[in-house]
Amino acid sequence: MALLALLLAVGMFASIGVLHLPPTAFLVAFPVALGLAFVPWRAWPDLAKTLFTYALAARIPVAMVMLVAIFGSWGTHYDVLPPNPTPELRSAGPLARWFYIGLLPQMTIWIANTVLVGTLLGAVLVAVAKPARRV
């Protein structure tokens, strides 16, 4: 299920890029991706909770650094626009730019990525290591 959810999320974002949809299309795609992060919760709640907590701990600081970088025009990967940005994104002010390239991705797709990939790796580890069952 985690693999299917991951493929769905990646496919959704790839099609938005291929179709050159406006930034508002991401307002639908990002929450859907975050919703997919909860797919593993039913099968492996302890791991999903741990991965979700870790994802928040890793992504909130990155979103804050991106905010400072965008307002400070650092010229690093934290504040540059993606390749071939839409005219709306190119002309957006710093706060709107941070919302679209900083806050939304960090708080949705990257959290989903962490939980889904972590679940896949956890499943591989369990299959290889075959830990003893708890009674």
In a domain? residue 100: yes
In a domain? residue 42: yes
Backbone angles phi, psi at 81, to 5 degrees: -75, 155
Percentage of the chain surpassing pLDDT 70?
Answer: 81
| Highest mean pLDDT (candidates 2-11, 68-77, 121-130) | 68-77
Predicted TM-score (pTM) of the model is: 0.78
Q: What is the mean pLDDT of the chain?
A: 84
Number of domains in the chain: 1
What is the residue type of 26?
Answer: F
In a domain? residue 112: yes
Distance CA 122, CA 79 (A): 33
What's the whole-number mean pLDDT along residues 8-12? 65
Domain that holds residue 114: 2-129
In a domain? residue 134: no
What's the whole-number mean pLDDT along residues 92-116? 91
Report residue 15's pLDDT band, with 50, 70 and 90 as the boundaries: low
In a domain? residue 107: yes
Report residue 130's pLDDT band, with 50, 70 and 90 as the boundaries: confident
